[in-house]
Amino acid sequence: MSVKVRFAPSPTGFLHIGSARTALFNWLFARHEGGQFFLRIEDTDKERSKQEFLEEILDSLKWLGFDWDGELVFQSKRTERYRAIANELIAKGLAYNEGEAVRFRVPKQGKVGFEDLLHGRIEFDLDQHGSLAEDLVIFKSDGSPTYNFAVVCDDAEMGITHVIRGDDHIMNTPKQVPLYDALGYKKPVFCHIPLILGEDRSRMSKRHGATSIREYRQAGFLPDAVVNYLSLLGWSPGNNQEIIGREELIKKFDLKRVLKTGAVFNKEKLEWLNAQYVRQLTPQALADLLLPYVQAAGYSIEGPGKGRAWYERLVALFQERVFTLTQFTDLAGFFFDDKISIPETAVQEVFKDARLAETFAKYADALQGLADFGAPAVEERSRALMKELGMSGKEFIHPCRVAVTGKTVSPGFFETVSLIGKERAVERLRAASALLKTRTPA
RNA sequence: GGCCCCAUCGUCUAGUGGUUUAGGACAUCACCCUCUCAAGGUGGAGGCACGGGUUCGACUCCCGUUGGGGCUACCA
């Protein structure tokens, strides 16, 4: 029998990082086994369920690349079916009405237990556990089914073979097991996976920072990196491999290797992993991914001395310097700007020598005379000038960098000058020269 | 409170009785490279929660303690 699993989100919020990990393990397991991965929308809570959340969740799942099989199953559309099943139970004397609500008779003593794929046998002593020995409400007075009832009906009727869910559901399972038996359903394999934790080791929530997939998407993370990182939370391939692509993940994923301990979410490692994926991209692909961010920042890749080829060269320069997509415009903004302003602190610290005004002017002239403005030509001419002026690389480059970029840090200086272009580089050098002259009257 | 789950460096993890002076990764520190920042290279510091067993031998098996977490709804 082929494997059938499901991911069952409630459209009451954005896709949580922990839910995404649960979805991932279900998806990886299904794909690894050549089985099916279904999506069921648990929207029985009419008050809290929102269409926008549903769309958001589906969007996030698609972005992560978790393709699902078949049609979406909406619990809100199955009320009649749940009602019919409840009536069967009533007819058999296994459930009864209590006002408008329906309760399912549960054993009041003895033990209820189940086999968990990860934890082994988990058993509950009904004498010791009050809430389990109370007849379970399966229909609420408002006419809607309860969570535990709908879940059992659906999992059974959808033919789910493996219920893979967070271990916060462990206490729900003993409520569901008697239902399977009463309904004559075959029980699925249960597998309760550990939760994703915040720094303080409590379940990851808002107060720990960004918790939704959408936030990580907006923050410039790559879906492959997020998937890779999430897969490493509570699972590992067994060797020391950390960078594992999607296909390889499917190939290597083994539910039985999932750990039982909760894992603390570590954003630094996610960032590192994201950087690895950013570097694997071709400059062209990265340039495409970055374009929306460039535009959002109000920059254009068109204009004098710019264009697509220029833009790709620029992107290549930052490919090893950005962790997330959003960092690009922060770091590379000065390449797009027509005018730059030099921070006072940089002026104070780097423009100490009054002779720099002269240096900038000479450098501007030298660059002005260049026909070829490629990085090698710029470097050759620049080094010639340094020699001429008797300046070392450091003495020359640092001040010039500030003059040309307005920053104390940048990619390699000659590449930077080359990409800023002759016109703007010369202009900025002259401006810096003028600024220095007004600052340091001889 | 009751019930349940869990326990290897700060964090993610490898480790399934001897192959371990416990390996890797992120972070951190130092050094190298170097025009800055990254990247890269080299090296360092850092862990089996504790106590009992079992065994010739325990990080690995059992029990207890401690610690952490989860659940205790006519929410999902």
**Structural domains present in chain A:** 4-197 (3.40.50.620), 210-280 (1.10.1160.10), 281-337 (1.10.8.70), 338-442 (1.10.10.350)
Overall pTM surpassing 0.90 (yes/no): yes
Res A334: pLDDT: 94
Taking residue A293's Cβ as centre, other Cβ atoms within 10 Å add up to 17
Res A398: pLDDT: 96
Instruction: Report if CB A405 to strand B is under 7 Å.
Output: no
Q: In chain A, which stretches have pLDDT less than 70?
A: 440-442
A173, with CB counted inside 10 A (0-12, 13-18, 19+), is buried
Res A338: pLDDT: 87
Instruction: Report if CB A394 to strand B is under 7 Å.
Output: yes
Helix, strand or coil, per DSSP, at residue A224: helix
**Which residue places its CA closest to the C1' of nucleotide B69?**
A202
- Distance from C-alpha of A69 to C-alpha of A76, rounded to nearest angstrom: 20
Res A93: pLDDT: 96
What is the token pair recorded at A149?
């009832």
- Distance from C-alpha of A22 to C-alpha of A31, rounded to nearest angstrom: 14
Angle ∠(A246,A252,A256) on CA atoms, nearest 5: 125
Q: How far is the CA of A379 from the C1' of B12 (A)?
A: 44
Q: How far is the CA of A174 from the C1' of B52 (A)?
A: 34
Taking residue A438's Cβ as centre, other Cβ atoms within 10 Å add up to 8
Instruction: Report if CB A329 to strand B is under 7 Å.
Output: no
Helix, strand or coil, per DSSP, at residue A232: coil
B chain positions with any atom within 7 Å of a protein CB:
1-8, 10-15, 23-27, 34-39, 68-76
Contact between A114 and A172 under an 8 Å Cβ cutoff? The reply is: no
- Distance from C-alpha of A370 to C-alpha of A378, rounded to nearest angstrom: 8
Catalytic residue among A62, A92, A108, A206: A206
A175 is catalytic: no
The DSSP 8-state label assigned to residue A216 in this structure reads: H
- Distance from C-alpha of A281 to C-alpha of A285, rounded to nearest angstrom: 6
Q: What is the side-by-side strand order in the sheet with A136-139? A: A95-98, A101-104, A136-139
DSSP 3-state helix, strand, coil percentages of chain A (rounded to 5)? 50, 10, 35
- Distance from C-alpha of A312 to C-alpha of A301, rounded to nearest angstrom: 10
Angle ∠(A256,A260,A262) on CA atoms, nearest 5: 135
Taking residue A319's Cβ as centre, other Cβ atoms within 10 Å add up to 20
What lies within 8 Å, CB to CB, of A404 at 6+ separation is A416, A417, A420, A425, A428, A429, A432
Res A438: pLDDT: 82
Contact between A222 and A285 under an 8 Å Cβ cutoff? The reply is: no
Res A442: pLDDT: 42
One-letter amino acid for residue A22 of the chain: T
Res A354: pLDDT: 82
Instruction: Report if CB A67 to strand B is under 7 Å.
Output: no
